[in-house]
Amino acid sequence: GAGVSQSPSNKVTEKGKDVELRCDPISGHTALYWYRQSLGQGLEFLIYFQGNSAPDKSGLPSDRFSAERTGGSVSTLTIQRTQQEDSAVYLCASSLTGWSNQPQHFGDGTRLSIL
Partner 1 sequence: KNEVEQSPQNLTAQEGEFITINCSYSVGISALHWLQQHPGGGIVSLFMLSSGKKKHGRLIATINIQEKHSSLHITASHPRDSAVYICAVERRADKLIFGTGTRLQVFP
Applying CB under 8 A, the span of 16-24, 35-43, 60-68, 72-80 interacting with partner 1 comes to 35-43
The H or E element containing residue 74 is none
Q: Binding string to partner 1 for residues 68 to 97, with x set by CB under 8 A, is what?
A: ---------------------x-x-x-x--
Please check whether residue 108 is in contact with residue 22, taking contact to mean a CB–CB distance below 8 angstroms: no
Decide whether 50 or 80 has the Cβ nearer to partner 1.
50
**If binding is defined by CB under 8 A, does position 65 make contact with partner 1?**
no
Applying CB under 8 A, the span of 10-18, 33-41, 60-68, 76-84 interacting with partner 1 comes to 33-41
C-beta neighbour count of 115 within 10 angstroms: 10
Decide whether 57 or 81 has the Cβ nearer to partner 1.
57
**If binding is defined by CB under 8 A, does position 108 make contact with partner 1?**
yes
